Amino acid sequence: MKRLTLCADDFGQSPEISSGILGLVECGRLQAVSCMTESPHWPAAAGHLLALDGGHEVGLHFNLTHPFNQPEKPVGRIMVSAWLRMIDPANIEKRFDEQWQAFTRAYGREPDYVDGHQHVHAFPVIREVVAARLKELAPRAWVRSLDVRVDSPKAGILAWASHGLTKVLASEGLATNRSFAGLRPYSPVFDFRKAFREWMGNSADGTLLMCHPGLESQDRTDPIAACRPLELAYLQSDQFSADSREMGVSWSPLDG
């Protein structure tokens, strides 16, 4: 059997998202949970996650785009600014340290890994700051690689935007996942189960597969709110377990 890791993004962003993810952790469906620590809901959510003694890792979902206590910044604008090297690394370091400290205050320990909301951790300037800070703060932690199969325009853009990430991480001696999957169009009519079966079938051993589950919500700041319950329903289902067995997949933490 090949071993894959299922990671849920955006924990702490809202109570509905956190509740959906907690349910999946409780039934052993997740191996990694990525946390948004700028959210006012994070401290309470962290307490609930701490109460679940599961075989999962917990990471920092570094945020520069979602509007918690900062103005909303479109990821496309950040991506272009990063590639033009028009981003202030001192400000990135400040944001990273604040979010890191919010994690450790609420969770009582350092994160197991770091990734980025809308993959911002992979962009130039930002990735150098993240890698340098992580080497100093927690050199045994890993960072999400975006070594994705280019089979769509979105995957192509992400591959371009994150080119060089692996080299930066290696230069700092930081571990990472071997490959990455889970990119999808966020439409309520998207066939998530079909896509998930394809990801399981096509992914190599050691792949990190991201997901975005959550309960139904009317959160207007969440552009993918309508998609989250559909992911949650499948990942909670017996069909998910049956599909995993059919595809020869064993789910385990990245370092498991």
Structural domain spans, the chain? 2-251
pTM: 0.95
Task: Break the chain down into helix, strand, coil percent, rounded to 5.
Answer: 45, 15, 40
Average model confidence (pLDDT) across the chain:
94
DSSP 8-state secondary structure symbol assigned to residue 162 = T
Distance CA 33, CA 208 (A): 12
- pLDDT, residue 160, reads 78
**Class of the domain covering 2-251:** alpha beta
Residues paired with residue 179 on neighbouring β-strands, in sequence order: 207
Low-confidence ranges of the chain (pLDDT < 50): 256
pLDDT 10s digits, 76-133: 999 999 999 999 999 999 999 999 999 999 999 999 999 999 999 999 999 999 999 9
pLDDT value for 256: 47
pLDDT at residue number 255: 67
Residue whose structure tokens are 């959550």: 214
Residues 17/42, Cβ–Cβ less than 8 Å: no
